[in-house]
Chains A and B, each alone.
Chain A
Amino acid sequence: MGHRRIDIKDIPLEQALFGSRLLALLFIVLLLTGMLVWRMINLQVIDSSRYQALAQNNRVRVSPLPPTRGLIYDRNHTIIAENLPSFSLEITPALTGDLGNTLERLKRILDIDEEDIQKFHALRRARSSHASTPLLVGMSETQVARFHVNRRDFPGVAVQARTRRHYPHGDTFAHVLGHVGRINARDIERVDTANYRGTARIGKTGIERQYEEILHGTTGFRHDEVNAQGKFIRELSRVPPVSGTSLVLTVDLQLQRTAIEAMGDNTGAIVAIDPRNGEVLALVSLPTFDPNPFVNGISRRDYALLRDNPLRPLFNRAVQGQYPPGSTIKMLTALAGLEAGTITPRQKMYATGYYQIPNDPRKYRDWNRAGHGWIDLADAIARSSDVYFYDLAYKTGIDRLAPMFRRFGLGSRTGIDLPGEAAGLTPSRQWKRKRYDKRWFPGETLISAIGQGYMLATPVQLAKMTACIATRGRCPQPHLLKQRLPGDSGTPPATAARIELSDPKHWTVIIDAMRKVITDPHGTGRRIRDGLKWPIAGKTGTSQVFGLKEDEDYDAETLERHLRDHALFVGYAPVEDPRIAVAVIVEHGGHGGVTAAPIGRRIIDDWMARQ
């Protein structure tokens, strides 16, 4: 290297070095600007006459041809999202002459709402005056006819035939499909704008959003000849658009309806999946809403009604709702104990009405004040003894419980193909240290073990957990997309994770116990045992919405509804050859065995009867 390295910070020399480099940079800047100037002289002086002629003869305008959005079917190819023809009245402000006057006259013949006019103005302001901007969408036939009679009086105004998304089953699939809506500035950020020229709507939530890219298709172009005033003369050529891919989902219309019906007026969520491959058979969140008004832009008032409804119909409880899972996770607690060797299946304990940690005066109560007497593991699960699991949890410890919960997917997203899935929460020492900067207390292990306290799970996580048990550890990946049309011949069943136990017999222990939940005369699920055509394994849960003081009594009659316990049920059938796993959450439904289990059975029966 010919350059001398300066070993002391030599300020004048640095300045001189900088100066010479800045000069070089200046030279580069002038050179590049010179290139631009030369380019402009070329365009605007040397070749100008050629370009002027081109501009004069510029008679070809390119306009986009939006593609047809892909359709969506349920697993039996029943259509659940379709496109209907729709006429819209569009105005090109630059061509109307007096816009205010035009609107005034249109109002007289077409009966237009003030709200439509305001929306039109809002849209128009953000666009060029040459852009065709919709004033009315979904015109009635009378309106179309009336306009056509008068259309000569309205230059710059035209009726456009377009298609409109329609959800024939209304609110049945609102939380599965989601809906499309008008594209806003935020949506533009996530798409290739060139392909959305001419597209007015985009998937906002649900499947419509998740698979936006493949549903949308590819925009085509039309080349029109126009006259010197920019008016259309004839079409020259076109590149046709390519329609979006249609989707076949895994959901079943009838099962979805049965699930909604079974819930009655309750709020809550249901997720039913095929444990063998993770296909989601039904996914319900209640209350639900009709997605159709969103397609053309829901009115502000109607939207406010949905948004401000205290029952939150727009909230997708099935994947976003995080609930204390309650006793439905006791199987996992049991597995943690079996694996750690802190319990054996046969070992019995005398379960009273409460439990105490040594040297701690606090009483951890059982839901059954009278206690359950001498019980083994299977009895403990069947009767949902809290005290048995308090003791087990105390001996096993959170450091062995939490990893077991996590192996079944609690505390992390299942990866279902819906946007906005929540992760739930599996607490641990490290988590509490990070979140609250406090140490973990043994009592917290006890309440975590029965799915209370910090524990939170989503309905789809519980369904997946149940499927993991049903398949003895071959955890499926819950998903909604079954097949693309045209396209693949179906998605292969995906296994999300494999759970290996030190002794495979442990699976049999807890599965037998889940059978007992329903068959045992003391089982919490005994109310659904009559007339079973296929063996069901299940577990009920009742999770506290608010904490009772140590000596307070829980009295459903005197409590306000929104403070009442959530009722839960997870289960699958048939036990030896599982075809369906279901998770039911009835918000403020009281006892899981009373409210949620019958709903679960109805869904299982409906599905199994058709196999």
Chain B
Amino acid sequence: MIDPNPPHRGLLQTVFDRLNLDPVLFAAIVGLGAVGLLVLYSASGGNLDVVTRQGIRLGLALLVMMAVAMVPPQLLYQWTPFVYVVVVVMLLLVPLTGSTGKGATRWLDIGIVRFQPAELMKIAMPMMIAFYFAERRLRPRFRELMVALALVLVPTFVIFIQPDLGTALLIATAGLTVIFLAGIPWRTVMLTMLGGIAALPVLWHFMKPYQRRRVDTFLHPENDPLGAGYHIIQSKIALGAGGLSGRGWLNGSQTQLDFLPEQTTDFIFSVFGEEFGLWGVLLLFTLYLLIVLRGFFIAWHAQDTYTRLLAASITMIFFTYFFVNVGMVSGLLPVVGVPLPLISYGGSSMVTIMVGFGILMAIHSEKRLLSK
């Protein structure tokens, strides 16, 4: 790991310190963002407007991150129950006040702004579970475990039936990570996993027809190669055709001839894989892994139970984004509609991810301040 406090302090170092920014994390994030813009240019068929818009979004999200980095973790701790309750209430309001359309109701309109409460849950969930366990002695008792599980599963279920399978998966991961880190016995972990598998038929029952279709397509893409299975097959062809060294930027035929579906959003990794090949893919994986390792490092060095659990959980959300997206476009997982973090075109999840990074940085600098 890189020593965050080298003896010689340059100007840049001082600026980063003042802003509570972690240079390693910052560099990796900016690096991924830059790669993303490059791929987006190719994926959008050379549409500079799309790239500019995404660039602006990235810049704004970075500003949000820097603002969040200035919030002391103590303050976050105090706000946690309030934030969680407000987000849960907003989530419950969505089906009541959301639009009458029956496809998917995810947006909440409060006059001036319109947003997806599910998106906020990605931050509120790790905060709440970390808060819950920070208040209590570890290891958790059975009853405490049940309470924590309810805190995780109720919002997850609400989001799941919106329906938004991808987000439900992400916030469940966030919450379960904290429960796991809090030190529940391994035997309980195993039992819970078995219980989860047993619950799959129940989930199936609540799925919308189009979600069921996706799972079915995942299990048997060859049954419908030109219908719904088309996405996965085209994506695999793109990745495979990329080979070891790729076909070169702007030269992927799958991408440029428009065989790839949703190539600027969920399937942008296939564009990258086709044009930059396995070497490019490994480099990209390294960048993602670097961020995850740095996140764990920050969690490891954090000062108290709350920040430790929170940092690790935020990092796991980020990893889950990455894992599920790459798994999905490479045919390892069903298509659930999770974007590739920092690279896919789109705004709302980008802001959430950056808020998460802001919190990580705030935790990191608190640790430094205390150890001085």
Contact = CB atoms under 8 A, between A and B. Distances in A.
Interface in B168-191: 177, 180-183, 185, 187
A130 B137 CA distance: 58
The listed residue with most B CB atoms (<10 A of its CB), out of A1, A39, A40, A93, is A40
A274 B2 CA distance: 78
B332 A128 contact: no
A35 B258 contact: no
B180 A44 contact: no
Contact of B300 (A19, A48, A61, A221): A19
Contacts of A125: 47, 49-50
B241 A48 contact: yes
Given A22-B296, A55-B237, A192-B103, A128 B264 contact: yes
A44 B273 contact: yes
Interface in B190-243: 208, 210, 226-228, 230, 234, 236-243
Contacts, number: 196
Contacts of B103: 189-192, 213
B226 A44 contact: no
Contacts of B249: none
Given A33-B289, A191-B101, A58 B137 contact: no
A62 B230 contact: yes
B181 A128 contact: no
Nearest to B238: A55
B364 to A, nearest CB: 15
A48 B258 contact: no
Contacts of A230: 257-258
B35 interface: no
Contacts of B264: 128
B299 interface: yes
Interface stretch (B9-17, B56-64, B104-112): B104-112
A61 B258 CA distance: 9
B305 interface: yes
A210 interface: yes
A17 interface: yes
Contacts of B312: 22, 25
Interface in B302-357: 305, 308-309, 312, 316, 319, 323, 326-327, 330-332
Interface string A209-251: 1101100000001010010111000000101000000000000
A557 interface: no
Contacts of B208: 192
A36 interface: yes
B52 to A, nearest CB: 9
Contact of B47 (A40, A128, A186, A212): A128
Interface size bucket, B side? 35 or more
Given A40-B273, A129-B45, A130-B45, A55 B241 contact: yes
Contacts of A25: 177, 180-181, 296, 312, 316
Interface string A331-345: 000000000000000
Interface string B78-103: 00000000000000000000011111
Contacts of B243: 44-45, 48, 52
A221 B258 contact: no
Nearest to A41: B278
Contacts of B138: 6, 14, 17-18
Given A21-B183, A25-B296, A40-B239, A60 B282 contact: no
B323 to A, nearest CB: 5
Interface string A182-213: 00001001111011000000000000011011
Nearest to B48: A125
A54 B240 contact: yes
A119 B227 CA distance: 32
B254 interface: yes
A45 B278 contact: yes
A438 interface: no
Given A22-B181, A44-B239, A190 B104 contact: yes
B291 to A, nearest CB: 11
Contacts of A548: none
B258 to A, nearest CB: 4
Contact of B210 (A14, A55, A192): A192
B259 interface: yes
Interface of B: 43-47, 49-50, 99-107, 137-139, 141, 177, 180-183, 185, 187, 208, 210, 226-228, 230, 234, 236-244, 253-254, 257-259, 263-264, 273, 277-278, 281-282, 285, 289, 292-293, 296, 299-300, 305, 308-309, 312, 316, 319, 323, 326-327, 330-332
15 contacts: A5-B139, A5-B141, A21-B182, A25-B180, A29-B289, A50-B240, A51-B240, A54-B241, A58-B259, A61-B258, A130-B257, A130-B258, A189-B99, A191-B103, A192-B208
Pick the 10 closest A-B CB pairs, nearest first.
A51-B240, A190-B101, A129-B45, A55-B241, A130-B258, A125-B49, A230-B257, A191-B103, A44-B278, A48-B243
